[in-house]
C-alpha cells in the first residue's frame, strides 16, 4: 500500500526556489519543440536542443534537492504515462 507523500505546509524560501527551479526545468524541456521550427543551421539547432536538455536536468535536480524527496517522487509519478488514467483512491 502506497502512502501519499507529505508536503510541507510552511513554505520556506528554499522550497519556493526549488519549485521555481522545477518549473524552469519543465520550460527548458519544452523549448526544443520551438527550436525545431526556427531557421537556424542544423548544427546550431542540435547544440541548442542539447543545451536545453542539459540545463533542464540541472534545474530539475537543484529543485529536487531544495523541495525534498517526497514532492519530487509525487511529481515524477504524475509525469509517467502509466499513471495518467488511474483514479485517486479515496479513504472513505
Residue 56 lies in a domain: yes
pLDDT in tens, the chain (92 residues): 556 655 555 678 888 888 899 899 999 999 999 998 999 999 999 999 999 999 999 999 999 888 887 777 777 777 777 767 776 665 54
pTM equals 0.64
Answer yes or no: is 10 within a domain. Answer: no
Please tell me the predicted confidence (pLDDT) of residue 73: 76
Task: Indicate the number of domains in the chain.
Answer: 1
Residue 87 in any domain: the answer is no
What does the pLDDT read at residue 70? 74
The reply to whether 92 falls in a domain is no
Inter-residue contact 60 to 24 (CB < 8 Å): no
Exposed e or buried b per residue across 14-29, where buried means at least 16 C-beta atoms within 10 angstroms of its C-beta: ebeebbebbebbeebb
Is-contact 67 19, C-beta < 8 A? yes
Amino acid at each position: 500500500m502506497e502512502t501519499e507523500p507529505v508536503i510541507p505546509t510552511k513554505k520556506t524560501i528554499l522550497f519556493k526556489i526549488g519549485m521555481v527551479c522545477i518549473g524552469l526545468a519543465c520550460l527548458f524541456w519544452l523549448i526544443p519543440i520551438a527550436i525545431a521550427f526556427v531557421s537556424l543551421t542544423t548544427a546550431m539547432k542540435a547544440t541548442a536542443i542539447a543545451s536545453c536538455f542539459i540545463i533542464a536536468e540541472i534545474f530539475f535536480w537543484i529543485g529536487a534537492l531544495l523541495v525534498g524527496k517526497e514532492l519530487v517522487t509525487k511529481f515524477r509519478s504524475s509525469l509517467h504515462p502509466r499513471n495518467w488514467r488511474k483514479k485517486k483512491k479515496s479513504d472513505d
